Amino acid sequence: MSSDRVESSVDTAEVPTELPVPLAGVLQEFTQWLRLDRGNSEHTVRAYRGDMEAMMRHLVSRGTTRLDDVRVRDLRGWLAAMQSGGASPATLQRRSGVARVFFAWARRESLVEQDPALTLKSPRVPRRLPPDLAQDDMDELFRAAAERAAETDGPLGVRDVAILEVLYGSGIRVSELCGLDLADVDHQRGALRVLGKGNKERTVPLGVPALQALSGWLGLRGEVMAGTTNAVFLGARGARIDPRVVRRVVHQALEAVPQAPDLGPHGLRHAMATHLLEGGADLRSVQEMLGHASLATTQIYTHVSNERLRAAFQQAHPRA
């Protein structure tokens, strides 16, 4: 175990007092590994830490105080207890996955002789197709947003249109949009440099409408900016925009499309991917744009396209 990790474990601000000191120290070490070595976001670190803290509390309540004493039956008992408490299959699947990551790390660090999670299976989760926005919905959304911007006194309405166009035009996540700096915009190539999950950088193209909307906002950005910031998108007070503001902008825009489901920013990402595939884009290119580590994650959008094709067939074909 490296000395820098040992030293970091004395930071008691994150150590849960309910756990025995050895387990609390291990949890602290795991947290630091996620944050510093694996490069996970703070949101992911908190989620993983919370899951493993819940697991440790369960084990301690049943008399296990040493990590090396944990067996796969103990982990199965933990999952069974959560299932009895009403946890969904998706929650159980996520927590079993985190347990596998945790014990694989613990084995590499020689904190356990054997990995008890090696044979731990995740429950099957029924695959649900994400709700979707039709292309007509998106056209109506942008028309309404442009009208609202024309009625708004100031640059924020123009900013909101640019936010919507960039989210749909590029398929980037809200966190990625909020993290954009001026240097990340390549106007000549019509592209954005994006820092995604796990600090992985990728380049995504932008269409003409998104580029025009973005240029319109950048021309007014100085009227809002307070102090020195390189952020592309700013809040009303001139600092880098908060993700909650972006979500509010998208929800308000969707309210103008009565037949559209209120999906939030991720709905624009879903719509972009689905519409790309419907237009003939190949799955690997869509995977690159979305920044998915696995092609299997992107394949859900082929199911959306297939379902829409099937619905159109049933409605329109005379012998359907």
What positions carry a catalytic annotation?
A: 173, 197, 266, 269, 292, 301
Question: Which amino acid is residue 149, in one-letter code?
Answer: A
Q: How far apart are CA 242 and CA 315, in angstroms?
A: 43
**Cβ pair 25, 15 in contact under 8 A:** yes
User: Which H, E and C letters describe 257-297, residue by residue?
Assistant: CCCCCCCCHHHHHHHHHHHHHHCCCCHHHHHHHHCCCCHHH
How many of the other CB atoms lie within 10 Å of CB of 129?
Answer: 14
Q: Is 190 helix (H, G, I), strand (E, B) or coil?
A: coil
Other CB atoms within 10 Å distance of the CB of residue 18:
12
Strand order in the sheet with 191-195: 185-186, 191-195, 201-205
How far is the C-alpha of 66 from the C-alpha of 60, rounded, in Å?
Answer: 9
DSSP 119-134: TPPPPP----PPP---
With helix as H, strand as E and coil as C, how does 203-259 read? EEECCHHHHHHHHHHHHHHHHCCCCCCCECCECCCCCECCHHHHHHHHHHHHHCCCC
Q: Which two tokens stand for residue 269?
A: 């990402």
Hey, which residues does 202 pair with through a beta bridge?
194
